[in-house]
Chain A
Amino acid sequence: MKYAISAVVLYCCCSAGFGAPIKADLECRPAGAGPVYDCMIRLSDSKSRAPVSDAAFTVSADMPSMPMTHNLRPVPALPQRAAGVYRARLALEMYGKWNVKLRISSPMQDQITKAYDFFEAP
C-alpha cells in the first residue's frame, strides 16, 4: 500500500513539474540577556545539496500551542560570508518550544518551518 502511494506521489509530483524545495538547517545560540537568540540558517538545494546563496527570506516564530496569536514579528535573515549561510536574531517572548518559520521570497517562493527548543542557558 505504502509503495503504491509512493509511486502515485512520485508520478504526480513529476508530472506537475514541482520545483525542488530548499532544505534548511537551523542552529540557535543565546545572544545576551533573556530569551534572545542568534540563529544561523544554512540553506541548500534538496536535490544537489549545493548551498543556496543570494536567498531573500524572513524569519519568524510561532508558539506551537497558540500558533496564530502567540508569535514573533518576522525579521530579515542576513547573508554571512560562508555560502548559503544566513543569520537572524530572534527576541523570543519566553523559553520553550517554538516553530521557526523561514518565509523565502527568492530564488523561489517557499516556506520552511522547523521546530526548535529554546532552553535557558545554564
Chain B
Amino acid sequence: MEQYALGVLANAGLLAFLALSAYVLIIAGEMSFGQQAFFAIGAYSAGMLTTLAAMPLAIALLAAAACGALAAGLLGLLSLRLRGLYFSMSTLAVAEMTRICLERFSFQVDGPEGQLIGPNGSAGFGGIRYVFEHGLEQGEFVLLVFAILLTVLLIMYGADRARFGTSLRMVGEDPELASMFGIDVRRVKLIAAAAAGAIAALGGALYAHHNTFIEPGNFDVMLGVHSLCYALIGGLGTPLGPLLGVGIDIFLMEGSRLFQGYRMIAFGALVALFLIVRPRGLLDERMVNLVRSSVRKATQRYFTIMRRKQ
C-alpha cells in the first residue's frame, strides 16, 4: 500500500513538470500540444547518459534540461512566428515527428551482463537502473522529485515577480501593446519556450529513472493534451495552478477506479466544464488577487491586535 501511495505521489510530481511546462507557454499566450516531445528528449538523453555513459544522475538531469531548452529554443525560432492555432499545430507536428524519430532511433551497446543496452526503436529503452543500482529507495526518489519540483516552482515565482514575469504576462495578454511598451515580444516568447522545454525535459529525465523503461509510445499526443489541461483546470494565475490541476486529475483517476476504462471520460468532461465555467482555471488571476488581499488583510489585522495587546 505504501509502495502504491509513493507511486501515485511520484506520478503526480512527474506530471507536474509537464503541467508547469505547458503553463509557461500559456502565460506567454501560446498553446502547445507538443510539450511531450521535450519530456521525451529529457527522458532519452538522461537515460542514455546514466546507462551508457555511467554519468551521475545530477549531471544527467542538468544535461537533459539543457537538451530540452536547446530543442525548444530551436523549435521556437522556427515556430514562434506563427500565431494561435497555427503555432499549436506546429508544436503537435514536431512532437509527432520526435516520436516517430524515436521509433527509428537505435543505439545499443554491450552491457555489463553481456546483454544489449540502450534505446532500441519502437521496442523501447529498458534497464535505466541508476536509482536501483545506487540504492535509492522509492521514498527517497519521490523526495528528490518533489525537491526539484519545489526548486523549479521557486524559480518560477521569482521570475513571475521580476520584470520578466510582468513582460511575459503582458506579451501573453496583448503582444502588440507589449511591443509598444518596448518589450521585445519575440525574445520574451523564445525565453519562455526554452524554459518550458527545460522544465519538461527535467520531468522526462526523472520519469525515465522512475520507470526504468521508456518507449516512444509513452510520449504521444495524449500526454501533451493532459499537460495542457492540467494548467487550464488548475488555473493560470499562479504556478501552483497546474499543480492543483494534476492533483485534481490524479485524485479523480484514483478515486474512480470502479469505472475502469470509462473513468477517462470524466477527465474530458471536467476539462469541457472548466473551459465553459472558468476558462482560466480554478486559481485564475482574480482568485489569486482575492486570496492575496485576504491574506494581507488578515496579517495586518493580526499585527494590529498584537500591537494593541502590547
Contacts and interface: CB of A to CB of B under 8 A. Distances in A.
Interface of A: 2, 5-6, 8-10, 12-14, 16, 18-21, 46-47, 58, 60, 62, 64-70, 73-74, 93-94, 97, 99, 101, 103, 105, 108-113, 115
B54 A9 contact: yes
A113 B213 contact: yes
Contacts of A105: 3
Contacts of A20: 113
Contact of A65 (B123, B222, B250): B222
Is chain A's binding surface mostly helix, strand, loop or mixed?
mixed
B88 interface: no
B127 A21 contact: yes
Contacts of A66: 222-223, 226, 264
B306 interface: no
Nearest to A58: B3
Contacts of B14: 68
Interface of B: 3-4, 7, 11, 14-15, 51-54, 109-113, 115, 117, 123-124, 126-127, 129, 132-133, 135, 137, 207, 211-213, 215, 217-218, 220, 222-223, 226, 249-250, 253, 257, 260-261, 264
Nearest 10 Cβ contacts at the A-B interface: A12-B54, A113-B213, A13-B112, A64-B217, A93-B261, A68-B11, A6-B109, A93-B260, A6-B110, A94-B261
B110 A113 contact: no
B259 to A, nearest CB: 9
A46 B217 contact: no
A49 to B, nearest CB: 11
B95 to A, nearest CB: 13
A109 B135 contact: yes
Contacts of B257: 73
